[in-house]
Amino acid sequence: MNRTVTLAAAIAAALGAGTAYAALPSLTDIEASTNNVFIAGSSAAKNAILGALVTNVCGGAANAFQFNSSGNKNFFAVSCVPVAAANAANGGVYNMFYRDEGGSVVGMLPIVNTKKINQLSLVAGTIGGCAASPCNIPVTGTSSTNGIDDSFGPAGTVATAPVDIGVADVEPAALTGNNYPTPYSTTVWGPVNNAGLVGLTGTQLFGEVYALFVNENSTAFTENPLNLSLQTAQQILTHKIKNWSLVTDVAGNKVTSAPLAIQIVNREKGSGSRTATDLLIAGDSCTTAGGVLFDTAGATDFFSTGDVLGAAAAIPGSITYATIDQSQGNMVQVNLDGVTPSNTAAATGQYPFWVEATFVQNPASTADANVMTFIEAALQTEATAPHVADVLAIPGVPAAAPNVPHSVLANTLSNVPALGTANIFINPFTRGGVTCNHPTFVATQQ
C-alpha cells in the first residue's frame, strides 16, 4: 500500500471536516492547556509552517485562535483542538508556538546545547484582553540588540521553553563555519557547538525557492527586473563589484545610467537564508572558485526575513535575499541567467537558487510525538503541503513513496483553498539533504 497516498487522503479528509472535530477554543482553555508544542527556526518558512498548523492540525482558521507579536513581529502561536487524523495523545486544546526570530539556527542550537529560548506566553495576564483571533501580544526588543542574548520582553509576554521542533532552510551542518552565529551569547545559547550541528539528524521537509531582491527605487536603473548572470551575482555578493554602474546584464547591457553604490543588506549569521545565499550564490565551500558573502564591518544584520526586506526597502541600490513568496515595496526579484525565479523553473532544472528545508524533532522532547509526526508528514506530502509560491515537494519524502515515473508539470492546484492558491510541484531534482550537492534527477511520485 502507498503509505503516502493513504496519509494524504487521511489528512485531506480531516481538513475537509475540521469543524466537526473542534471549534474556536476559549481563552480559558488556552490558558489552562499543558499540551504545548514549541517550534522555532526558519523565517523563510514561517508562512508555510503557520499555514500548516492552522490548516492541517486545526482543520482551518475557524477552529484556530491565532496569536502574533507586535513590536517585535517574530513570535507566533496557534491554539486549537487537533483534528482526529493528528491522533493527539491527549484531549483538549493544544498550543503550538512558532518563533522565527533569529532564523534557522534558533531552531537547532537550543536542541544541541539543551537550552530554553523565549516563545510567546499564553497566560491570563498576556492574552486576557484578546477579543478575537488573531490577537496581537506586544513584545519589546529588536533583533540586533536583543537577539544575541534573547532578552525580549516585557516579563509575562514571553517565557522560555525547550525547542521541540527545529525548522531550518538548510541542513543543520550547513549552519557552521562562516554561517555559525559567533556573536550569540554562550551563556544564553550554550557553547560554540559546530560539531553538534554537524551531528544533528534531521529529515528533509520541503523545497524552498529563493531570489535575490534589489531595491530599484532609483532613476539610475535602466532595467527592471535585473537580468544577471550567476557569475555577476556572485561578484556582487562577494563585493568584487561595488557599484551598479559596473554591472552588465546577461546581454551585456549596463543596468544603470549613473553610478549607484551597491549595499548588501544581510541576515545574521545562523540564518538559513543567509547560509543558502552564501553557499549557492557566493559559492562559499561549495566550489573551489567560490567566495564568502560580504558583510560590511559594523553593519547591522537582521534576524528575520521581514526585517531584512524592510531594511533594504529603504536603501536605493541595496541587494538582499529571501524566498520568492516574500515581497516588499521597492524590492524587485532578480532574474538569474535569463530565468525568472519560480518553483516551476526550479522544478524543471532551469533555476538554481533553491534549498531543501530540514525538520528536526528534539530527541529529548516531552511534547506529543503523534502531533509532531503529523505536522511533519503533512508538510512533506504534496497534497497537504503549503501551496505557496516558493514551496516544492521533495522526491521520495516520505521515504515510503515508490519510485515510479513522474512528470513534474502533471501536478494540479490544491483542492484545499486554505493551503494556498499557488501550484506546487514534486521537484524531480534533489540535493539529497546537502545544500552544496549538485542536484540529481530522481523521478518519483508521492
Taking the model in full, what pTM does it have?
0.89
At residue 225's C-alpha, the angle toward residues 215 and 386, to 5°, is 85
For domain 208-347, give the fold: D-Maltodextrin-Binding Protein; domain 2 (3.40.190)
Q: What are phi and psi of 63, to 5 degrees?
A: -100, -5
- Burial class of 34 by CB neighbour count within 10 A (0 to 12, 13 to 18, 19+): exposed
Q: How high is the pLDDT of residue 413?
A: 43
- In the predicted model, what is the mean pLDDT of residues 296-313? 92
- In the predicted model, what is the mean pLDDT of residues 391-411? 54
Q: Is the dihedral of CA 121, 180, 343, 206 positive or negative?
A: negative
d(CA 45, CA 81): 23
Q: How many CB atoms lie within 10 A of CB 301?
A: 22
pLDDT (tens digit per residue) in 326-375: 999 999 999 999 999 999 899 889 999 999 999 999 999 999 999 999 99
pLDDT(5) > 70: no
- In the predicted model, what is the mean pLDDT of residues 26-30? 97
DSSP string, 205-237: EEEEEEEEEEE--STTB--SS-EE-HHHHHHHH
d(CA 63, CA 79): 8
Closest listed residue to residue 214, CA positions, set 180, 240, 249: 249
pLDDT(445) > 50: no
d(CA 116, CA 280): 32
d(CA 12, CA 2): 16
pLDDT confidence band for 417 (50 / 70 / 90) = low
- In the predicted model, what is the mean pLDDT of residues 260-272? 96
Q: How high is the pLDDT of residue 1?
A: 28
- In the predicted model, what is the mean pLDDT of residues 12-29? 63
Contact criterion met (CB below 8 Å) for 355 and 170: yes
Q: How high is the pLDDT of residue 412?
A: 42
Closest listed residue to residue 60, CA positions, set 30, 40, 82, 32: 82
pLDDT(141) > 80: yes
Q: How high is the pLDDT of residue 441?
A: 84
pLDDT(403) > 60: no
pLDDT(17) > 70: no
pLDDT confidence band for 47 (50 / 70 / 90) = confident
- In the predicted model, what is the mean pLDDT of residues 111-122? 98
Closest listed residue to residue 95, CA positions, set 67, 73, 118, 126: 67
Q: How high is the pLDDT of residue 382?
A: 81
pLDDT (tens digit per residue) in 184-221: 999 999 999 999 999 999 899 999 999 999 999 999 99
pLDDT confidence band for 443 (50 / 70 / 90) = low
- Give the domain ranges of the chain: 3-207+355-430, 208-347
pLDDT(12) > 80: no
- In the predicted model, what is the mean pLDDT of residues 397-425? 53
